[in-house]
Amino acid sequence: MIELKNVSFSYKHKPCIRNVNLSFNTGAITAVIGPNGSGKSTLLKLCSRLLRCSGGEVLLEGINIFDIKPKAFAKRAAILLQANHPPNIPAYDYVMSGRYPHKSLTDYISKEDINIVENAMEMTGCHVFAQRPVNKLSGGERQKVFIAMALAQNTDIIFLDEPTTFFDINVSFDIMNLIQKLNEKLGKTIILVVHDLNLALHYSDYAVIINNGEIVIHEKTASIAENNYISNVFGVEMKKIIDAGNEFFLFKK
């Protein structure tokens, strides 16, 4: 379980995260939403050991994440970042990199590694282009490769920083369906930053709304959708339509 205690973070003396207390629900999908510059991505990086908080601490099972060795932490939590620059190596090799934290210097690639990598690639559907270089793939295919690598890392927590940005709506839904599958079938705890409020409300179990570096609310997504939190934070009108059991959200300024 990931827990934040009085976490603060400043960038160039400008505070971006102020005194955040939060504990993420294990085995659930939590969406972190908020306006641009609210500190969503920073929050994710603080939780995943990529940034060190200037005040407070982030705990994993009660232990400060910086007291955990980097490789040991990478066995517990994987993070998928925005704007990953794609290297010119086959997708298969990229996914195999996810096994890095499980290997010591002298370890060879074992049968187990190959099984894990192949399962991850099949689950995400990137086995069909396993041998193609990552930089020659389309954005959606590339994202699936990145997700497969996070899967190959075999962690119980996966952080994702805006996994659907820049994609067409059909690709966005594909990716979100895949993320939901990881949660439902493999029981992964998923914490993701999403831009698209529709996707956030549609796919997450819990939502954290952040504004100006402070947590506005951390609640079940269903109850957030019922109330005016989103309208207030984003300054838009929100309307829920139910059609044949499906919920649709409309926004208007």
Partner 1 sequence: MSFCSRHSMNKKIYILLLLAFLFLITTFLVALCLGTSNIGPLKLASLFCNSNTEDTLYRIIVHVRLPRVLGALLAGCALSVSGAIIQSVLNNPLAGPNIIGINSGAGFAMLLAAILLPFHPALIPVFAFIGAMFAALIIIIISVSTNASRLTIVLIGFAISSILTAGINTIMIFYPDAYIGASTFIIGGLSSLTMQKIVFPALYIASGLILAVIFSRDLNILSLGTNTAKSLGMNVTFTKTFMIGISAILAGAAVSFAGLLGFVGLIVPHAVRYLVSNDNKIVIPVSCLVGGGFLIVCDTVSRILFAPYELPVGILMAFVGAPLFIFLIMKNRHAKY
Q: Should residue 48 be labelled a site residue for partner 1 when binding is judged by CB under 8 A?
A: yes
Q: Should residue 147 be labelled a site residue for partner 1 when binding is judged by CB under 8 A?
A: no
Q: How far apart are CA 199 and CA 203, in angstroms?
A: 6
Token pair recorded at residue 135 = 């930089």
Token pair recorded at residue 107 = 């370890």
Q: Should residue 175 be labelled a site residue for partner 1 when binding is judged by CB under 8 A?
A: no
Query: Is 208 within 8 Å of 223 (Cβ atoms)?
Result: no
100-119: which residues touch partner 1 (CB under 8 A)?
Answer: 100-101, 103, 105, 109, 114, 118
Q: Should residue 190 be labelled a site residue for partner 1 when binding is judged by CB under 8 A?
A: no
What amino acid is encoded at 144 in this protein? K
Minimum distance, C-beta of residue 70 to partner 1, in the bound complex (Å): 4
Sign of the alpha-carbon dihedral angle for 137, 40, 9, 76:
negative
Whose Cβ is closer to partner 1: residue 161's or residue 196's?
Answer: 161
Query: Is 196 within 8 Å of 164 (Cβ atoms)?
Result: yes
Minimum distance, C-beta of residue 118 to partner 1, in the bound complex (Å): 7
- Chain centroid to CA 3: 16
Site residues (vs partner 1, CB under 8 A): 48-50, 69-75, 78-79, 81, 84-85, 87-89, 92-94, 97-98, 100-101, 103, 105, 109, 114, 118, 121-122, 127, 130-131, 133, 153
